[in-house]
Amino acid sequence: MSNYLYPGIYIEEIRGPQQISGVGTSTTAFVGWTERGPDEPTLIDSWNAFLAKFGNFTWGYNVPFAVYNFFAEGGAYAYVVRAKASDGLAAATVVHAPLQFTASSPGLWGNDLAIAIENYPWEDTPSTTLTPTFGVRVLYSAAKVDQDDSKKTVLERLITRYIKNNNLDSAKITRTVDYYVIEEFPGLTIKDLKKGANGQPSSLEAKINGQSLFIRVTVNAETPPAPTALAPALLVTGADSTSGTPVDYQDALARLDPITDASLLVMPDTGMLDDLKTQQATIQQGINYCEGRTPCDMFMIADAPFWLDPPTLRSFKRGEPITPPGATAAIDLENALNSDRGAIYYPWIDFFNASTARSITIPPAGAIAGTYAETDSRVGVFKAPAGIRDGRLSSAVSLTALVTEKAQGILNPDGINAIRSLPTYGIVTYGARTLSTDPSLIYISVRRLLTYIEMSLYRGLQWVVFEPNDQKLWGTVRRDVTVFLTQVWTAGGLFGAKDSDAFEVKVDASNNPPATRNQGLLYIDIKVAPVRPAEFVVLRIQQQTLPSA
| Residue 265 and residue 230 in one domain | no
515 in a domain, yes or no?
yes
Q: Whole domain around residue 499: which residue ranges? A: 461-528
501 in a domain, yes or no?
yes
Lowest mean pLDDT among 42-51, 166-175, 335-344, 409-418: 166-175
Biggest CA-to-CA distance, the chain: 106
Lowest mean pLDDT among 14-23, 380-389, 481-490: 14-23
How far apart are the C-alpha atoms of 444 and 436, rounded to whole Å? 10
Burial class, 164, CB count within 10 angstroms (exposed 0-12 / middle 13-18 / buried 19+): exposed
- What pLDDT does residue 380 have? 96
* DSSP result, 175-194: SS-EEEEEEEEEEE-GGGGS
Residues contacting 426, CB < 8 A, separation 6+: 392, 393, 394
- What pLDDT does residue 110 have? 83
| Residue 210 and residue 170 in one domain | yes
Mean pLDDT of the chain: 88
**Average pLDDT estimate for 17-21:** 83
Sign of the Cα pseudo-torsion (276, 280, 286, 288, in order): negative
390 in a domain, yes or no?
yes
506 in a domain, yes or no?
yes
* CA torsion, ordered 207, 209, 212, 217, to nearest 10 deg: 100
Burial class, 538, CB count within 10 angstroms (exposed 0-12 / middle 13-18 / buried 19+): exposed
pLDDT digits (tens, 9 = 90+) for 481-540: 999 999 999 999 999 999 999 999 999 999 999 999 999 999 999 999 999 999 899 999
Paired sense of beta strands 264-266 and 299-303, if any = parallel
How far apart are the C-alpha atoms of 367 and 301, rounded to whole Å? 10
How far apart are the C-alpha atoms of 443 and 435, rounded to whole Å? 9
| Residue 82 and residue 105 in one domain | no
| Residue 333 and residue 398 in one domain | yes
Give the model's confidence band at 126: pLDDT under 50 very low, under 70 low, under 90 confident, else very high.
low
Contact between 17 and 69 (Cβ < 8 Å): no
Percent of the chain with pLDDT over 90: 64
| Residue 427 and residue 465 in one domain | no
| Residue 227 and residue 369 in one domain | no
**Average pLDDT estimate for 15-38:** 90
Between 107 and 218, residue with greater pLDDT:
218
- What pLDDT does residue 232 have? 42
Instruction: Give the length of the chain.
Output: 549
- What pLDDT does residue 243 have? 47
| Residue 383 and residue 480 in one domain | no
Burial class, 403, CB count within 10 angstroms (exposed 0-12 / middle 13-18 / buried 19+): buried
E strand or H helix at 47: helix 47-54
The answer on pLDDT for 469 being more than 90 is yes
Between 146 and 487, residue with greater pLDDT:
487
| Residue 350 and residue 378 in one domain | yes
pLDDT digits (tens, 9 = 90+) for 405-456: 999 999 999 999 999 999 999 999 999 999 999 999 999 999 999 999 999 9
Burial class, 328, CB count within 10 angstroms (exposed 0-12 / middle 13-18 / buried 19+): exposed
| Residue 352 and residue 277 in one domain | yes
Between 337 and 223, residue with greater pLDDT:
337
- What pLDDT does residue 109 have? 82
Contact between 166 and 360 (Cβ < 8 Å): no
- What pLDDT does residue 13 have? 77
**Average pLDDT estimate for 335-353:** 96
Amino acid 318 reads R
- What pLDDT does residue 83 have? 92
Contact between 328 and 150 (Cβ < 8 Å): no
4 in a domain, yes or no?
no
| Residue 167 and residue 301 in one domain | no
Encode 494-516: b = buried (16+ Cβ within 10 Å), e = exposed. beeeeeeebbebebeeeebeeee
* Three-state SS annotation for 502-514: HEEEECCCCCCCH
Contact between 478 and 484 (Cβ < 8 Å): no
Of 494, 374, 368, give the one whose Cα is nearest residue 431.
Answer: 368
Q: Which of the 8 DSSP states describes residue 522?
A: -
How far apart are the C-alpha atoms of 246 and 41, rounded to whole Å? 19
How far apart are the C-alpha atoms of 326 and 308, rounded to whole Å? 10
**Average pLDDT estimate for 388-399:** 95
Work out the number of other CB atoms within 10 angstroms of the CB of residue 520. 9
- What pLDDT does residue 226 have? 47
| Residue 334 and residue 410 in one domain | yes
450 in a domain, yes or no?
no
Q: What is the CATH number of the domain that holds 283?
A: 3.40.50.11780
| Residue 289 and residue 371 in one domain | yes
Any bridge partners for residue 94, and if so which?
Answer: 101
pLDDT digits (tens, 9 = 90+) for 211-244: 999 999 998 876 665 444 444 445 455 554 444 4
- What pLDDT does residue 241 have? 45
534 in a domain, yes or no?
no
Count: domains in the chain = 3
19 in a domain, yes or no?
no
Give the model's confidence band at 196: pLDDT under 50 very low, under 70 low, under 90 confident, else very high.
confident
pLDDT digits (tens, 9 = 90+) for 1-15: 567 888 888 888 777
